Amino acid sequence: MKDDGKYIYTVSQLTSSIKIILEDSFRNIWVDGEISNFKASGGHFYFTLKDDKSELKCIFFKSSNEKIKFEIKDGMQVLCCGKISVYEQRGVYQLYVAKMEPKGVGALQFAFEQLKERLFKEGLFDESHKKEIPIIPEKIGIVTSATGAAIRDILHVLNKRFSNVEVLIIPVKVQGDEAKEEIAAAIEEFNALKNVDVMIVGRGGGSLEDLWAFNEEIVARAIYNSKIPVISAVGHEIDWTISDFVADKRAPTPSVAAEMVIAEKSKLIERLIEIEKKIRDFPMDMVMEYEQRLDEIEDNMALRFSHYIELKLGDFKLLSEKLQILSPAGILDRGYSISFKMPDRKIIKTANALKKGDLIETKVSKGSFKSRIE
């Protein structure tokens, strides 16, 4: 609209022009910032990206955020990829986010560390919860791909070690969006059978993305809740997944898992022979052990009795010496004397008991003599 040579925009026209310019100019851009005021509603994420000078409103729609593995929190430094969109009714612009990555670390690795820390705090990795692997399982359950190298390796080792063990296999996808639900469901299905002694859950090697199904929370909780002991066998020795931390045992490869779950037949036979020998020798071993214990008891009793006699003889000698000192004969030996009034031989205790003419007898250490009172 022109007025006196001036081109005048309406608010709507100006806002529409700004919208065209911004949306055409800022497509598929990456923005670095800190998340604040994060909230989720209807599956959509709403938050603000900020730095020390400015803020930018952002929307992360459900259709785009469903593939995010990590938990978004206020204060996180992230990189967001998307496009600028103008909301004409309010004249404000915002970023429609299509992708998000934690700054400084890969998104999957960040998600792995987040889940690992949370499950650790919940106690899913506690050693006290882990179950023992049976020595000779009758029935082994395997959760893995039906066509991968892992199942071939496991069956090869089991057949070589103990060919008559019963093996049940529930084939599942081991990567892709559907894998986590299939793996968790297979673990629950084996538990429902109630006659499986031990379970191997795993797959062959691959990238972090390939192994990601075994880092999913639904799989971790299925392993934790399993009443059947679980051996996690995911990837190669250097690969660690959340399943490894939750499982009762972790095997570096599927082949090693098979070796852990059952011993070689020859070694089992050797072990049985050893046990048989121990059972056969047990009565004689017990007799010899009790004989040795009786000998030890006898020696201890003799030693204690000898010591007891020595103590009592010492006590007796000490008492005898005390009695000797306190006896009348002992007193006389030390120079004292005892006088008796005759003829009834009453002991004279005081001089008042005597009168002139009384006959007394005085006993000393060596003999006695008689006297008459004058």
Strand locations in 138-250, DSSP E?
139-144, 166-171, 198-203, 230-234, 249-250
Mean pLDDT, to the nearest integer, of 185-191? 96
Q: Taking 90 as the threshold, does the pLDDT of residue 243 lie above it?
A: yes
Contacts of 244 (CB under 8 A, 6+ apart): 214, 232, 234, 250
- C-alpha span between 44 and 22 (Å, rounded): 23
Q: Taking 70 as the threshold, does the pLDDT of residue 179 lie above it?
A: yes
- C-alpha span between 115 and 100 (Å, rounded): 18
Mean pLDDT, to the nearest integer, of 99-110? 81
Q: Taking 60 as the threshold, does the pLDDT of residue 265 lie above it?
A: no
- C-alpha span between 204 and 245 (Å, rounded): 18
- C-alpha span between 191 and 227 (Å, rounded): 7
Per-residue tokens: 134: 């049976």
According to the model, what pLDDT value does residue 308 have? 81
Q: Are 164 and 158 in contact (CB under 8 A)?
A: no
According to the model, what pLDDT value does residue 49 have? 92
Helix or strand run (H / E) with residue 283:
helix 265-326
Least confident of 120-129, 175-184, 268-277: 268-277
According to the model, what pLDDT value does residue 69 have? 83
Q: Are 172 and 202 in contact (CB under 8 A)?
A: no
The position carrying tokens 């004409």 is 88
* 290 vs 87, residue with greater confidence: 87
Q: Which residues pair with 47 in a beta bridge?
A: 58
Average pLDDT, the chain: 86
Least confident of 184-193, 195-204, 220-229, 258-267: 258-267
Per-residue tokens: 318: 């000490």
Q: For residue 318, give the DSSP letter.
A: H
Q: Taking 60 as the threshold, does the pLDDT of residue 264 lie above it?
A: no
According to the model, what pLDDT value does residue 275 have? 81
Domains, the chain, ranges and CATH? 2-104 (2.40.50.140), 112-263 (3.40.50.10550), 330-372 (no CATH)
- Residue 343: asked if its preceding bond is cis (omega within 30°), the reply is yes
Q: For residue 177, give the DSSP letter.
A: T
Per-residue tokens: 329: 């004969």
According to the model, what pLDDT value does residue 319 have? 80
Give residue 244's Cα distance to chain centre. 14
Residue range 311-320, pLDDT digits in tens: 888 888 888 7
The identity of residue 271, as a single letter, is: R
Q: Are 143 and 187 in contact (CB under 8 A)?
A: yes
- The answer to pTM > 0.85 is no
Instruction: Using a pLDDT cut of 70, give the percent of the chain over it.
Output: 93
